[in-house]
Amino acid sequence: MGGVGLEQMFRFFLILFVSVPVFSQVIIPFSYWKARGGLLVISDGPTYNYGLVPTNNAVDKVFTVTNTSSSLASDVSGATFSSAAYTWKGGTFPGTGGTCGTSVLAGATCTVVVSASSATTGTIASNVVINYSSTTSTRAITAQFTATTYTSVFVSPNTGNFPIGNTQQLQCFGRTADGGVVELTASCSWSSNNVARVTVDDASNRGLITGIANGGPTTITATYGANSGTAAITVSAGAPTFPDEGIGLFARYYTITSGVASPHDPFTALVNQRIDAQVNFGWASGSNPAGGVNDFGVRWTGQISAASSGSYCVRNRSDDGARIWIDNTLVVDRWVDQGATNTNGTFTFTAGVKYNIVHEFYENGGDAEIRLQYQSIACVAPTAVPQIYLWPTALRAMDLHSATVPRYTDMIRGYAMNGAVGAIANGAAITGMSGGGAPTPVNATASNANGTGMAYVSSERSQAISFDGIDDSISVAASTVPTAASNRSISVWVNPTNTGSDQMIAFYGAETTSNGYGLAVLSNGLIRNYGWGNDCTSLASVAWDTWSMVTATYDGANARIYINGVLNQTCAKVWSTSAGSTLYVGRSNGGSMYFDGLIDDFAIWDTVLTAGEIYTIYERLHVTNPP
């Protein structure tokens, strides 16, 4: 291909849910984007789901294009689409809001925006053509439309009080026949049975109510097709009061590669995501939102609450395996192939307090059933957790510990980077764990000679350690780390600051060719897996001032680099890593290349993690944001 050829593939699965009006869902699996010749690549994650939108309304997505080469990519343009279902947003490349121009500098990124919409059911095939450096890239786009209906509509909040002149946004949601929840606020028709008391916008900002005169309650109705939901609103003096009622948990559905040991690799490819009103499914041997019958996994995330305070029995009923974490505590752990089985755990709730919840499930074969239930005190007759006590809100990252890390017994060093928020003194202990055999503490030592910069900080990841790029680092004896050409994996979350210099994330061994082993962020944002002079460098860069999970594996013959759980580069390498005496986090062995930014959840294994296990770590430890 002459070093400038590009083969990039858009594949759109657009699932149309029919009611009045119809709704569609767009999923883009980026595992189908391939760069041949390695110049421009899509540097986003593997899969995107646009959620549900009304038919004839455009679904837009921004995609990041990265020039991974050391050469200028010129004559960049986008051709027209062969199907009217797809357009560059606004009609021209790179799409309204896109930043790609006619050229992309070496190491630089830009964005394109693609819109998709359709008014009919069926399957639509198309092509996207991207030109650069006089080379054309063409790949198919496929849209598939299927049908379902909404069984009911509800309004949230469904009651409340507010004073004259105040406004409040109400939302309209539809329940699907298979247990899903879809926001329909902009598609519902809104009305008030007493506009002299409360008005509701049915035009530009649908569902927005305004208090006009004291009294009530006034009934606000949202209608979608043949279904309606209502809210009872009272206008009175005093502070507004509206209940915080849940709408369900954020669900992501994955397929499992057939033949793979399901407990180790349950989340291979994201194929659907939505809000589920409850976790209360008996799919038996029928289809499910992941499609098919067997070999799928589901992860529900969000928050859970209870009506009263006290100890609750939390029950998982599943066929096959499942796990439940509440407030970062593993409450249920039944990660095995099994028939429908009840597994109980306990958790103490405080009424009105929301707790983060992660509920994972995989189906290997036979019937499929999964239910999340609870009951105050004892599990005599627990019932499904009601929708109003479940929220699909964003989560902070889970902590690095035995219940979240695959191959924990093979983890020889693990540092969650958690501690009291504030400065870290020179010589302070950094708590660490080894999972091998009987898990034991393996504490590291902080180095902060100038006394400034190094600190535990709060972030969306809960906590992390800040490094100043001058003299901050962590060190621990390297007596048991993988050496020579032995198997290994290293994974870490980084939020680097752009200093214009290369920055070492971690390193051990000797600084001689093929005898050192490390991981670094280069000055251009690329990730380097160091063999010290015999290195492997990623194709894509990580973003500055943004959290990314970087993972490297080595099997004695090949080094692999993963960014945010997705394989980015493979290099044939023969390394002979020296034992050395010290493992450093935040600097090189020679006391240079200091890291500037935040580091969290650092771990080393003496085994090669699979792609599925790496993606599982990414999914469990990253911040979950519903669409």
> What CATH number should be reported for the domain holding residue 524?
2.60.120.200
Q: Has residue 108 been placed in a domain?
A: yes
- In the 3-class helix/strand/coil scheme, how is 456-518 assigned residue by residue? EEEECCEEEEEEECCCCEEEEECCCCCCECCCEEEEEEEEECCCCCCEEEEEEECCCCCCEEE
Q: What are phi and psi of 352, to 5 degrees?
A: 85, -10
Domain boundary among 107, 127, 145: 145
Tokens 């957790």 -> residue: 385
| DSSP per position, 547-593 | -EEEEEEE-SSEEEEEETTEEEEEEE----B---SEEEESS-TTS-S
595 and 453 in one domain? yes
Angle (nearest 5°) at CA 577 between 521 and 517: 10
pLDDT digits (tens, 9 = 90+) for 367-405: 899 999 999 988 999 999 999 999 998 777 887 877 788
Report the domain count for the chain.
4
pLDDT digits (tens, 9 = 90+) for 399-429: 787 778 888 889 999 999 988 899 999 999 9
Torsion, Cα of 94, 97, 98, 99 (10° steps): 120
- By DSSP bridging, strand 189-192 and strand 77-78 are unpaired
**Highest mean pLDDT, choosing among 47-56, 167-176, 308-317, 527-536:** 308-317
563 and 531 in one domain? yes
203 and 58 in one domain? no
pLDDT digits (tens, 9 = 90+) for 487-524: 999 999 999 999 999 999 999 999 899 999 999 999 99
Q: Has residue 401 been placed in a domain?
A: no
pLDDT of residue 350: 98
> What CATH number should be reported for the domain holding residue 268?
2.60.120.1560
pLDDT of residue 407: 87
CB atoms within 10 A of CB 241: 12
421 and 304 in one domain? no
Tokens linked to 135? 């080379």
139 and 228 in one domain? no
CB 247 within 8 A of CB 302: no
Rounded distance, CA 326 to CA 48, Å? 27
3-state SS class at 30 = helix
- Can you give the pTM of this predicted structure? 0.72
Q: Which residues pair with 415 in a beta bridge?
A: 602
518 and 429 in one domain? yes
463 and 609 in one domain? yes
538 and 590 in one domain? yes
Q: Has residue 534 been placed in a domain?
A: yes
Domain boundary among 235, 270, 299: 235
Q: Is the peptide bond before 94 cis (omega within 30 degrees of 0)?
A: yes
369 and 465 in one domain? no
Q: Has residue 364 been placed in a domain?
A: yes
Percent of the chain residues past pLDDT 90, beyond the cut: 50
516 and 611 in one domain? yes
CB 78 within 8 A of CB 86: no
Rounded distance, CA 509 to CA 575, Å? 11
What average pLDDT does the structure give for the chain?
82
Q: Is the peptide bond before 243 cis (omega within 30 degrees of 0)?
A: no
360 CB burial (10 A radius; 0-12, 13-18, 19+): buried
Chain length of the chain: 627
3-state SS class at 53 = strand
Q: Has residue 334 been placed in a domain?
A: yes
pLDDT of residue 47: 41
- By DSSP bridging, strand 444-447 and strand 429-430 are antiparallel
Contacts of 347 (CB under 8 A, 6+ apart): 311, 312, 314, 326, 327, 329, 331, 355
278 and 201 in one domain? no
pLDDT of residue 128: 56
Domain boundary among 179, 205, 235: 235
Closest CA to 335 of 364, 310, 305: 364
The secondary element (H helix, E strand) that includes residue 375 is strand 368-376
135 and 175 in one domain? no
Q: How many CA atoms lie within 13 A of 50 on its CB side?
A: 26
Range of the domain at 486: 408-621
Contacts of 540 (CB under 8 A, 6+ apart): 41, 43, 66, 68, 526, 563, 568
When pLDDT is averaged across residues 341-347 and rounded to a whole number, the result is 97
> What CATH number should be reported for the domain holding residue 199?
2.60.40.10
When pLDDT is averaged across residues 525-550 and rounded to a whole number, the result is 93
| DSSP per position, 601-622 | EEEEESS---HHHHHHHHHHHS
